Structure 1
Amino acid sequence: MSVPAPRDAYGTHVLADLGGIAADMLRDPAALEAILLNAAKAAGATVLSAHFHHFGGEHGVTGVVLLAESHVTIHTWPEHRFAALDIFMCGKARAEDAVAQIARELKAEARNVRTCERGVVPPR
């Protein structure tokens, strides 16, 4: 079995854990949708659609923004003042810029960001 040659990455995949966010913000699907849509556009991505679901009462929100360049997702836990982001963007879109803008708009007090270039095959 042959191994493909190394190549440039197809895209950047960022996982971000954001903490210290106001619980009421993490329960507001409309506000979260606006924040993620604005961040995707500011990062140079093309928005195709979005869907956000609030689990009711004091519970959190799960949301996805579908992009021509891939996706932005958020899952929130208001009781822990925590949000998990998953952002994958290819082409000229800038996933790291989207994360930074979302963290700013949510006024996150803490963040743990992990970035992975997707599509790179390491040499054997």
Structure 2
Amino acid sequence: MKVTEELLEEMKYKDENFSDGLILPDGDYHRITKGHLHGLMALFPETEDEIWKMIPEDDSPLFWLIEKTGCVLTDYNNSIGMKMTPAQKQVFDAMRRHGFLTDDYYDLTKQREKVKKEREEKEQAQKS
């Protein structure tokens, strides 16, 4: 769904859990009902079983899914994602201004770069 000022005003009175969702890279907002992990998996064409097989055993499933989808996970207490796109930042800021989100944003970009580098070094060492 597209987040507008009108929608945010309406949701203040209709839905106290409007903060639980995903902001896609294009700024589209998806509500979640079964948790962030399932919400992220629903964006893939594969089944959840197939997705679990794709996630490296030594990685955080949630962080891996955030990286692969480019989504920002939102929750009233805090939000987490990678470097936001301008469209994501616009939606995040609007939801924050309307009181659905706090300022707490955890940017995983550096952590994911570190994981990628460590994985590449490990693969190089195994080839040697």
TM-score (norm 1): 0.33
Greater relative contact order, per chain length (Cα 8 Å cut-off, separation 6+): 1
- Higher fraction of strand: 1
Return the TM-score normalized by structure 2: 0.33
Q: Which has the larger radius of gyration?
A: 2
Q: Structure 1 or 2: larger helix share?
A: 2
